[in-house]
Amino acid sequence: MGELPRSRLGEAFEKARVDGRAALVGYLPAGFPSFAGAVAALTAMVEAGVDVVEVGLPYSDPLMDGPTIQVAVDRALTGGTSTEDVLHTVAAVARTGVPTVVMTYWNPVEQYGVDRFAADLAAAGGAGAITPDLTAEEAGPWLAAAAAAGLDPVFLVAPSSTDQRLARVAALCRGFVYAASTMGVTGTRDQVSGRSPTLVERVRAVTSTPVAVGLGVSNGDQAAQVAAYADGVIVGSAFVRRLLDAPDEATGIAAVRELAADLAAGVRRR
């Protein structure tokens, strides 16, 4: 076997580290508020300072998603968003030059075909995939397909994870480890979980891979708080909320851009 291809996610986190800050990761589901609207909003995020983009693959049974993202995903599905649309969204956003990953539950990947999904995601310019409900024990086929396609696999750890579990999951991750700061579903919160710093410390004890914290960040002040101890700050529901609250797409995209700029400033003033 030859050496693994370079990790574009890892490079983005390394660039942020050299800059003396945390990386900013932004999420939106494909197809929301429309196909073109999602591409425009994600592009606006990049232009305002997001370092890594997560494109959500809409799924009918989103176990980890809170009510805000559930509404957006439902609208995307109602609009007919397909896996092919997700890949087209990745291709459009990846052209900005920022590493773009898919956030997806495992069932749609199985339905599409594991090897085919990896190959098509790589062909679209994708850098990897985050698979929140894929366990380490069942990850073999995806790890093989991702390696063959040069993609970074990213898995989640939580405060409830044992040290043994943290080590096992972290060993499978490339690019970064996704640390879920709470045991609940996604959504903005008045305060980011106080369990996050301890979780990040525990992950760092078993891996040198960067650790990004998700679930709860909604503004620049909270981003600065998380950036003080994590390598990356992941924001999703707050972006979705800006689009849901807007009277039209153009206004929503402008609000997304404004939030991204606030968050980007936040990770820089940690």
Domain boundaries, the chain: 8-155+233-268
Mean pLDDT of the chain, nearest integer: 92
Query: Average pLDDT for residues 258-264, to the nearest whole number?
Result: 98
pLDDT over 70 percentage in the chain: 92
- Tokens matching residue 5: 């291809």
Q: How far is CA 224 from the centre of its chain?
A: 18
Q: Residues 76, 29: contact at Cβ < 8 Å?
A: yes
Q: How far is CA 194 from the centre of its chain?
A: 21
- β-pair partners for 222: none
Q: Residue written as tokens 């690019």?
A: 175
Concerning whether 258 is annotated as a catalytic residue, the answer is no
Q: Hey, is 56 helix, strand or coil? A: strand
pLDDT score of 185: 40
More confident residue, 89 or 182: 89
Query: Using CA atoms, how far apart are residues 117 and 220, in angstroms rounded to an integer?
Result: 35
- Annotated catalytic residue, options 11, 14, 51, 54: 54
Q: Residues 210, 13: contact at Cβ < 8 Å?
A: yes
Query: Average pLDDT for residues 110-139, to the nearest whole number?
Result: 97
**161-189 confidence digits (pLDDT tens):** 999 999 999 999 999 999 997 544 444 44
Query: Using CA atoms, how far apart are residues 120 and 71, in angstroms rounded to an integer?
Result: 27
Q: Which stretch of DSSP H or E encloses residue 76? A: helix 67-78
Concerning whether 163 is annotated as a catalytic residue, the answer is no
Q: Hey, is 212 helix, strand or coil? A: strand
The answer to whether domain 8-155+233-268 has CATH 3.40.50.720 is: no
pLDDT score of 32: 97
**85-89 contacts: CB < 8 A, separation 24 or more?**
85/30, 85/31, 85/35, 86/30, 86/31, 86/55, 86/56, 86/57, 86/58, 87/120, 87/121, 87/124, 87/126, 88/35, 88/124, 89/30, 89/31, 89/35, 89/38, 89/39, 89/42, 89/55
pLDDT score of 1: 42
Query: Using CA atoms, how far apart are residues 165 and 241, in angstroms rounded to an integer?
Result: 33
More confident residue, 3 or 224: 224
Name the pTM for this structure. 0.93
More confident residue, 171 or 193: 171
- Annotated catalytic residue, options 3, 11, 65, 248: 65
